[in-house]
Amino acid sequence: MKKALAAFLLLFPLWLGAGIYALRLEGPVDPLMEEYATDSLREIQRRGDARLVVVEMDTPGGFDTSMRAIIKAMLNSGLPVAVLVSPKGARAASAGFFILMAADVAAMAPGTNTGAAHPVSVTGSDIEKTMREKVTNDAASYVKSLARSRGRDEGMAEKAVRESRSYTAEECLQGGLIDLVAADVADLVARLDGRAVTLSGGRQVVLDLRGQRVVPLPMSERQKFLRTITNPNLAYFLLIFGLVGLYLEFTHPGVALPGILGGISLLLAFLAFQVLPINYVGLLLILLSIGFFVAEIKVQGFGILGVGGIVSFILGSIMLIDSPIPEMRPAMPMIVTFAVCFACILLFLTWKVFRAMRRRKETGSEGLVGEAGVARTDVDLRGGKVFVHGEWWNAVAEEPVRAGEPVIVAAVENLRLKVKPSGGDHE
């Protein structure tokens, strides 16, 4: 009964007819966003009751392959798709600019911007000149074809790619890059009601949106979870936390909790790395740095291994995620924080080692040197008895010592003490 009621409540809005579906593309354009966008468009097609699909977007850009997959899904959906750069302060940079140009209706909220779509290497490094020209020409040709098919200004679109131009919403509207400026989804729907829109296949439809509900299609729970852990900062933290947890478990067997938490964290980090563009050289450098830290603690490299570990850790952390987009890399303050923490721990351990090495031995015969005692008999070069450290010892003294006088142990030779007068009273 409960299951039937839940199913009824879930399907009841669909029986009424949805009309308008809304997606939200927020964050880097990556394989996860590609999956969400393409699956959502496929589901909307399956339902067959959509009059308009609104895609709210706020992205710094991302991967060319994911961008093209999203655009392909939009163009082949057979549905009128409106892309709105929203809310105020949002942007559709790089890959987001291409998605905006591909929309049947392109709109931006006031205070937003788009453009800066010059292609860059996935690693953020400079690429060879000929290859750079080929990639740039390909991207420029692609955006021009998108703009031409939608009747938008090809020149402005090309400059966004070749010259990394960025435009405000007002500049885009005046230059013919977008169709309108709308404050939010409700404003966009109101402005589009009754408007004729030409789809990618050339078919023209008139949008009848009056009284239609806007049905948001959020990410699935799985996609939300993956979106959370694929945050570069969180994935990086999980990696470091997992390695430290496993190290504590191996060095303190039986504690269990560090090993359990470390193992779970490490597996979650590797799950995130399946989505993030990982540089495995960077990952190996981080693992090498952990090895240096362990070696420094175990064999005492007097700081040399520790310095090597810090350098390897910083380089590996910077290289870990291949992306020119800052939002897809671990934040430098987090990297520095971890590096400083490891450096402080190593400095503390090294200081403790040096302190232990300089400390006078307190056990064995060497530990008697400097100890105070009392002569129990007269002591000279021929010998005598002294009481030191709760024990009776045979002793000799270059300077004669009378019984009862305090003495100091100067040396130990073959279980016989060399003593001298201490110059003070001793009980």
Q: What is the pLDDT of residues 18-64, one digit of tens each?
A: 589 999 999 889 889 999 999 999 999 998 889 999 999 999 988 88
Other CB atoms within a 10 A radius of the CB of residue 31 amount to 18
Res 113: pLDDT: 96
Single-letter code of the amino acid located at 397:
A
Does residue 2 lie in a domain region? no
Q: Which tens digits make up the pLDDT trace of 189-226?
A: 999 999 999 888 788 899 988 888 999 999 999 888 88
The pTM score is: 0.70
Same domain, yes or no, for 93 and 242?
Answer: no
How much is the mean pLDDT over the chain? 83
Same domain, yes or no, for 194 and 276?
Answer: no
User: ∠315-317-318 over CA atoms, to 5°?
Assistant: 65
Tokens of residue 66, six digits: 């994911």
Q: Which tens digits make up the pLDDT trace of 367-410?
A: 677 788 888 888 888 888 888 877 888 888 888 888 888 988 88
Tell which wins on pLDDT, 257 or 121.
Answer: 257
Tell me the pLDDT band of 303, cut-offs 50, 70 and 90: low
The total number of structural domains in the chain stands at 3
Does residue 5 lie in a domain region? no
How buried is 231 (Cβ within 10 angstroms: 0-12 exposed, 13-18 middle, 19+ buried)?
middle
Same domain, yes or no, for 128 and 195?
Answer: yes
Given a cut of 60, is residue 166 above it in pLDDT?
yes
Tell me the pLDDT band of 121, cut-offs 50, 70 and 90: low
Same domain, yes or no, for 313 and 412?
Answer: no
Other CB atoms within a 10 A radius of the CB of residue 16 amount to 11
Helical pair 64-75 and 95-102, crossing angle rounded to 10 deg: 10
Same domain, yes or no, for 137 and 265?
Answer: no
Catalogue the long-range contacts made by 384-387 (C-beta closer than 8 Å, 24 or more residues apart). 386/417, 386/419
Same domain, yes or no, for 47 and 114?
Answer: yes
Same domain, yes or no, for 91 and 210?
Answer: yes
Other CB atoms within a 10 A radius of the CB of residue 1 amount to 5
Structural domain that includes position 165: 14-219
**CATH code of 29's domain:** 3.90.226.10
Q: Please name which of 255, 321, 319, 316 lies closest in space to residue 290, comparing C-alpha atoms.
A: 316
Dist CA 353 CA 376 (whole Å): 39
Given a cut of 90, is residue 328 above it in pLDDT?
no
> Sign of torsion, CA 242 245 251 252?
negative
Same domain, yes or no, for 77 and 205?
Answer: yes
Does residue 165 lie in a domain region? yes
Res 259: pLDDT: 84
Res 218: pLDDT: 93
Domain endpoint, select from 358, 381, 413: 358
Same domain, yes or no, for 293 and 369?
Answer: no
Phi and psi torsions of 84, nearest 5° = -120, 120
